[in-house]
Amino acid sequence: MIKTLWVLIMLGICGTTLFAQTETDLLPLPSEPFFWYMPLVQPPLTSPVIKIYIRPPPEKQRSVFSLDIPILPRWDTVKEDRVKSHTIQFGETTTPWRDTVIFGGWPVPRVTFTSPNFRVSLEGGIMKALDENSSRTMKQVHMITERGLWYVLIGTERFFGQEEILRASKGLNFESDFRRRSYGGQWWLGLKVGDFNRSFIAGRYGKGYVRTEGLNHFNVPSISNLDWFLIYLEEFKTKSFSIDGKVTGKRISQSVRFDRIEYERLVLSPDPLRFGENHLEDMWLRTETEVAPFPRARFLRGVVVLTKDFRNQNRLMFINDYSSMRVLLRLAF
């Protein structure tokens, strides 16, 4: 009985296996392809790959704060002979005019804050001539502010300058000191394309006002506490035109600026030979080369400024100016 039961179980398992093979096995494919069947077969659908390029956000343009320290303290000023003859207010229309003096003491640094569309510059200090035969003291402040709105550029400039020469002239029983004091400014409107911190080009047209005066003080041994008295007082209205541009590279940048200024006396002089010309003019070209020689210390830079005057330096009537070549040490952050 048990043997008969085992035989029935084995027959049932074998039958199930054969039935499964018969139902599930596929027929073999023929050796020749069915060309009539191929057009009816649809290719598998594949979803196209869409590459989306996401532009990285633009690099934020940061502001730059810089401090310029002059290394060559050479300045252009008026000759003392013009001081003694009381003809500074005539400008460079008569006798030799310019003299280059080496000043020492406190340097005249320049502090500049620059953003892509805003720039402010402030420089000033107190310096004394190192020449043994001259006792000249210079005090001056110069400030420039510019703001760009779209392509429009507006700006202002202000300055104050004072120079004092002790014992400028000597007599038999007296000595006299001379003091020149000037102040003024201008505003302008122009166009700008580019970034002040990188590369740009800008043009300006402005108007302004300048006032200058000269005073004498006598030192007489028998008389004390003498006041300063006025020698001359001149006022000018100014018109200016300037264009400048800058190109910035990886380690070097170059800027060029052209300036032209016209001065016209508010009170016209009746005799130009005795009181000076009524219309004066300045024109100069200034280049500035900035080099960052150390890649790991880019905050430390050297600057060379060259100036070429094409007309008379009549601006020396009001304030001293740098010589034709100056070298600056720049710390930029």
d(CA 203, CA 327): 26
pLDDT tens digits for range 206-259: 999 999 999 998 888 888 778 899 999 999 999 999 999 999 998 999 999 999
Dihedral sign for Cα 317, 320, 321, 322, please.
positive
In the predicted model, is pLDDT for residue 299 greater than 50?
A: yes
| Type of residue at 30 | P
Write down the pLDDT at residue 18.
Answer: 41
Write down the pLDDT at residue 93.
Answer: 67
d(CA 183, CA 210): 6
Domain boundaries, the chain: 64-332
More confident residue, 98 or 33: 98
Task: Give the DSSP H or E segment for 153.
Answer: strand 152-170
Contact in structure between 163 and 128 (CB atoms under 8 Å): no
Task: Give the DSSP H or E segment for 209.
Answer: strand 200-219
In the predicted model, is pLDDT for residue 147 greater than 80?
A: yes
Asked which of 110-119, 137-146, 155-164, 267-276 is least confident by mean pLDDT, the reply is: 267-276
Write down the pLDDT at residue 75.
Answer: 87
CATH of domain 64-332: 2.40.128.130
Residue 22, token pair as written in the block? 């018969």
Average pLDDT over the chain, rounded to whole?
82
Residues 6+ apart with CB under 8 A from 117: 147, 148, 149, 192, 195, 196
Provide the whole-model pTM. Answer: 0.77
pLDDT-based confidence at residue 73 (cuts at 50, 70, 90): confident
Task: Give the DSSP H or E segment for 23.
Answer: helix 2-24
